[in-house]
Amino acid sequence: MSTERLNALPILFNRFGLERLTEDQRQKIATVDATLPQTQCGLCDHPDGCLPYAIAIVVNNEPHNKCVPGGQPVSDTIAEILEREPLIARESQWPVDPNTHRPTEVRAVIREDDCIGCTKCIPACPVDAIVGTGKHMHTIISDLCTGCELCLPPCPVDCIDLIEVPRDPAIETAEYRAKEQAHLRYRYHTHLNRVAEQMVDNTHSKPVTSVIETMIGNASHQSLDIDESKAKATIAAAKLRTKIKKLEKQLTARPNESKQAELEALKQELAQLAD
């Protein structure tokens, strides 16, 4: 496998000093990285993504079974490449997909009625799969989403759901996956380069917006443009729904008269907003 792509990496990876490694180490890193799913989720304890984990496996002898989305097949492939003992793969919260023998893949979906357009999810997405600007509802391009789950914690109204997406064995070939992974790697590096540029650009005053938004152009803007009063009502309704959900959860655990009354009042307020 060519190690050429290790020569032009985002600045974030400079600290690994890949240029000082031997050709044999670089070769192994490139091969291990090529087997990793490129979900860039950090579940292997490497928040900077798949390549840093590949480096740690080769250079620091880190266990090769920590890639959660890759599951047992990826752990076994790396063991074979590096001639190491096979290890049981780190467990996923998702069931194993019988077609791929990897954990079932998921995709994120924004409940658009609840989204308050705060933009907090956009910079969290390593592959720029979220489209939207401030005060407008956001949406996820599901074909680009890797299901890394990194957009969930920053969302203040908890309006992002995960749905399971079983793989189609008819298209699930090694070649298909390699292509897909190369694309995700490219998208992640583009994301990192853009973030680095924004960090040194003091004149940057706009909210962080996805490059995908530019690429898909007017089509999405038309559906995202809503007038100011509608935007305010959407934000107010989303906040009310969040409060209602919290109260409902609390009341399921422990009944409470005043909280019940508060819940009814919030529901009425929400119904009035919808009128």
34 counts as binding ligand SF4 under rule CB under 6 A:
no
Contacts with ligand SF4 in 164-223 (CB under 6 A)? none
Q: Total number of residues binding ligand SF4 (CB under 6 A)?
A: 45
Task: Work out which of 155, 192, 263, 266 binds ligand SF4, going by CB under 6 A.
Answer: 155
Contacts made by residues 81-90, CB under 8 angstroms, sequence distance 24+: 81/28, 81/31, 81/32, 81/35, 82/28, 82/32, 82/57, 82/58, 87/63, 89/65, 90/43, 90/44, 90/65, 90/66
For the chain, first and last CA: distance in Å? Answer: 62
Say if CB 8 and CB 193 are below 8 A apart. no
We find the least distance from the C-beta atom of residue 69 to ligand SF4, in angstroms, to be 5
Residues 6+ apart with CB under 8 A from 141: 129, 130, 131, 212, 216
* Residue closer to ligand SF4, measured from CB, 182 or 265: 182
With CA atoms as reference, report the closest residue to 138 among 194, 86, 210.
210
Which has the closest alpha carbon to 38: 24, 54, 57, 17? 54
Provide the minimum distance between the beta carbon of 253 and ligand SF4 in the complex, in angstroms, as a whole number.
Answer: 25
Closest contact distance (angstroms) between CB of 134 and ligand SF4 is 9
Q: For the window 101-140, what string marks contact with ligand SF4 as x by the rule CB under 6 A?
A: -------x-x----xxxxxxx--xx-x-xx-x-----x-x
221 or 264: CB nearest ligand SF4:
221
Summarize as ranges the residues that interact with ligand SF4 (CB under 6 A).
36-37, 39-44, 46, 49-50, 53, 67-70, 108, 110, 115-121, 124-125, 127, 129-130, 132, 138, 140, 145-151, 154-155, 157, 159-160
